[in-house]
Amino acid sequence: MNLKPVSDHIVLKPMDKETTTASGIIIPDTVDKDRPEQAEVLSVGPGKMLESGKRMEMEFKPGQKVLFKKYSPDEFEINGEKFLVIKAEDVIAIVGS
């Protein structure tokens, strides 16, 4: 799927949540209610246009994993596959290096 976001938007692929720990403990859905979500960056827009006429450089790259607030992204589905679109300012952290 070739999705090209505009401005400072990022297209993400949601990552599956683990509902059972390694020791076999089942984690209920209510535990994750206000915790950040994690997803993989699929594509990144060119950056937000600044008042000076230049674009703000995006700090995200395809393949990175990011954390964001649970209710920040817009969700959509194409050909049965789920995607998220989020603004760069709503990303909390990059996971790993």
Q: Nearest Cα to 14, choosing from 61, 60, 73, 58? A: 73
Which has the higher per-residue pLDDT, 71 or 40? Answer: 40
Which residue has tokens 């090209």?
Answer: 4
Say how far apart CA 43 and CA 88 lie, in whole Å.
12
Which amino acid makes up residue 16? D
Tokens of 25: 């403990």
pLDDT digits (tens, 9 = 90+) for 60-69: 999 999 999 8
Which stretch, 3-12, 19-28, 88-97, has highest mean pLDDT? 3-12
Q: What is the CATH number of domain 1-13+36-97?
A: 2.30.33.40
Average pLDDT value for residue range 45-70: 93
Tokens of 17: 């949540």
Say how far apart CA 64 and CA 62 lie, in whole Å.
6
Which has the higher per-residue pLDDT, 26 or 78? Answer: 78
Predicted pLDDT at 54: 94
CB atoms within 10 A of CB 77: 8
**pTM listed for this prediction:** 0.78
- At residue 6, φ and ψ (nearest 5 deg) are -105, 160
Predicted pLDDT at 71: 85
Domain boundaries, the chain: 1-13+36-97
pLDDT digits (tens, 9 = 90+) for 32-46: 555 568 999 999 999
